[in-house]
A and B are shown apart, each in its own frame.
Chain A
Amino acid sequence: MTEPIITFDKVNKWYGNSFHVLRDIDLSVAKGERIVICGPSGSGKSTLIRCINRLEEHQQGRLVVDGVELTDDVKAIEAIRRQVGMVFQQFNLFPHLTVLENLTLAPMWVGKVPKAEAEERAMAQLKRVRIAEQAGKYPLQLSGGQQQRVAIARALCLTPKIMLFDEPTSALDPEMIKEVLDVMIELANQGITMLCVTHEMGFAKAVADRVIFMDQGQIIEQNNPHDFFDHPQSERTKDFLSKILGH
């Protein structure tokens, strides 16, 4: 049994003094595993994945990513961020740079990669998400779906071992969701470890190895997609599924 690539060990997080947002999280993610996390809003699912690359800090418990324990140690955080890529709900592309420049920024300035090589890698990633012809455009000149695909390519440029998706399609118009999900499904089938917070249950059924349901800061239930959707165990899970799969 190989070492899990991400381990949450009794992780707790509070906002302020009283809002207990992550409660005793125990979670192991194997290399190459694809996980979908769902749950009502405010359940802590975004907070959970944002702890993995230290965009949020946990106050109690142990969190180990790719063999490195996440603490305040700056070097540890830098090492982890080189292996973890993130895609945001609001894309967060840099509007003053072209698409190509958005992708080459981190490899050049963090990875110390020469410009020509960085651009080559960037074009390869843009081809991978099928948006290579937009390389010279500015982000605000593209549609939402195109921008999110650029964001995925930008995260992939650092060749991460783990990809985190924080509700990647929630800010998109319905007709653009499919193009982004297709890219994510292709990615999932190429062996990368993925944690995805989403409401897109079709995606979960197609690709996930494990679906996790969270509510009020705890992991309520986790199972493979087939058993999760067809035989939910907990009352809360059943309640949630009936709400989102109902229409």
Chain B
Amino acid sequence: MSIPFVAIEARPAPVSTEGLVPWMRRNLFGNPTSTVITLIMLALALLWLPKLLNWAVVHAVVAANADQCQAARGTGACWGVVAEKYRLIIFGRYPFEQQWRPLVATLLLGGLLVASCVRHFWRPQLALAWVVVLALFFALMRGGLLGLAPVETDRWGGLPLTMLLATLSIVGAFPLAVLVALGRRSKMPAIKTVCVLYVELIRGVPLVSVLFMASFMFPLFMPPGTSIDVLVRVLVGITLFAAAYMAEIVRGGLQAIPKGQQEAADTLGLTYWQAQRKIILPQALALVVPGIMNNFIAIFKDTSLVTIVSLYELTGSMSLALNSDSNWRPFKIEAYLFIAAIYFAFCFSMSRYSLWIEKQLSRSKNR
């Protein structure tokens, strides 16, 4: 005998759990403490938000007029300092009329970096593009050919300098980091010890001391009579610093590759370097792209330290722009906010990208 089967149709839930009001009930008024906090926050917002808006927007002075700004001191922000000094802040001491050159160079480099992040462009031509763009960058900034007036490296500054230092040091640190990571995992004691010493020494000291070393000691390392450009010195210092941290990141990726991969490569008869190039490194590097990205963000922020050794990147050029001009010196805070916003925009978008890459990689792993 068959049981008559009566299907029960799906019904909507009696009490709604989705939608704005239920969300608010759960997340803003879920329990007594939460409710109290929500009310206090609303009260504080009502108290402070209008004042902040007043200062930042309503009474703010946008025109590049020092007198207006002085008059508005205390009641309104002086965004005029940005309008007046932005070129000095962004491009440093580069000669004023020639500032289209660092502008073009920065846009080119920025475009290259963004393109390198998009999977679509990951082709051999990308490496060529890197060489070309970097050559163009230096040609534009340095000048001395094609009718461009030469500009010494100590006049380079601001945002182009920040991007140049960050990009070149990461690019230079990468091969060194891979070698050091491989060396650290090698079974040859001498090579392993040297790599361990290098990594632990550099990671144990602050970047400032490495920059001091670069600034004061590198000239002594060169044969007497030769001089070495301050930009090159600082670049070498930052590169050595970045390579030590990146070596640890790459080493983490190498450790995550199962031993079976190396064993399979050995049974196929590949030499050590062939196995590394074709099998181990491609997998390891794909794993550590988020880590390398984070390293890039950290180095990008750390370039602000070269101010201490008298290279005027973004932070330094701002101090330079305002310290020398007593009309605008009282409005440092607005200028600080301006460059903080620039850094934030760059670093936040880079960290979002890094998170996105991580999700992509974990998705492809879980398939």
Contact = CB atoms under 8 A, between A and B. Distances in A.
B3 A234 contact: yes
Interface in B1-56: 1-3, 5, 7-8, 10-19
Interface stretch (A17-25, A121-129, A187-195): A17-25
B2 A234 contact: yes
A112 B67 CA distance: 76
Interface string A4-43: 0000000010101110100110000000000000000000
A16 B18 contact: yes
Nearest to B6: A218
A92 interface: no
Given A20-B10, A23-B8, A23-B10, A221 B16 contact: no
A233 B2 contact: yes
B13 A59 contact: yes
A206 to B, nearest CB: 25
A236 B4 CA distance: 12
Interface residues of A, number: 18
B18 A20 contact: no
B8 to A, nearest CB: 4
Interface size class of B (residues with CB under 8 A): 10 to 19
Contacts of B8: 23-24, 217-218
A233 B1 contact: yes
Contacts of A12: 11
Given A20-B10, A20-B11, A23-B10, A236 B5 contact: yes
Contacts of A236: 5
Contacts of A17: 12-13, 16-19
Nearest to B1: A233
Nearest to A14: B13
B1 A20 contact: no
A233 B14 CA distance: 33
A236 B10 CA distance: 18
A60 B3 contact: no
B13 A20 contact: yes
A108 interface: no
Contact of A220 (B5, B10, B12, B14): B5
A11 to B, nearest CB: 12
Interface string B135-146: 000000000000
A235 interface: yes
Nearest to B3: A233
Given A221-B3, A233-B1, A59 B10 contact: no
Interface string A50-76: 000000000110000000000000000
Contacts of B15: 59
A17 B2 CA distance: 34
Interface in B182-232: none
Contacts of A23: 8, 10-11
A235 B13 contact: no
Contacts of A221: 3
A59 B22 CA distance: 15
Nearest to A17: B18
A221 B3 CA distance: 8
A234 B5 contact: yes
Nearest to B10: A20
A24 to B, nearest CB: 6
Contacts of B13: 14, 16-18, 20, 59
A225 B16 CA distance: 40
Nearest to B2: A233
A236 B14 CA distance: 29
Contacts of A217: 8, 10
Name, among A16, A221, A236, the residue most crowded by chain B CB atoms within 10 Å (CB to CB): A16
A24 B1 CA distance: 24
Interface in A148-199: none
Contact of B14 (A18, A59, A234, A235): A59
Contacts of B14: 59-60
A160 to B, nearest CB: 31
Contacts of A18: 10, 12-13
Contacts of A235: 5
A60 B13 CA distance: 9
A234 B3 CA distance: 6
B167 to A, nearest CB: 43
A24 B9 CA distance: 10
Interface of A: 12, 14, 16-18, 20, 23-24, 59-60, 217-218, 220-221, 233-236
Interface of B: 1-3, 5, 7-8, 10-19
19 contacts: A16-B13, A16-B18, A17-B13, A17-B17, A18-B10, A18-B13, A20-B10, A20-B13, A23-B8, A23-B10, A23-B11, A59-B13, A59-B14, A60-B14, A217-B10, A218-B8, A220-B5, A233-B1, A235-B5
List the 10 closest A-B pairs by CB distance, nearest first: A14-B13, A20-B10, A23-B8, A233-B3, A17-B18, A17-B13, A234-B5, A218-B8, A16-B18, A17-B16
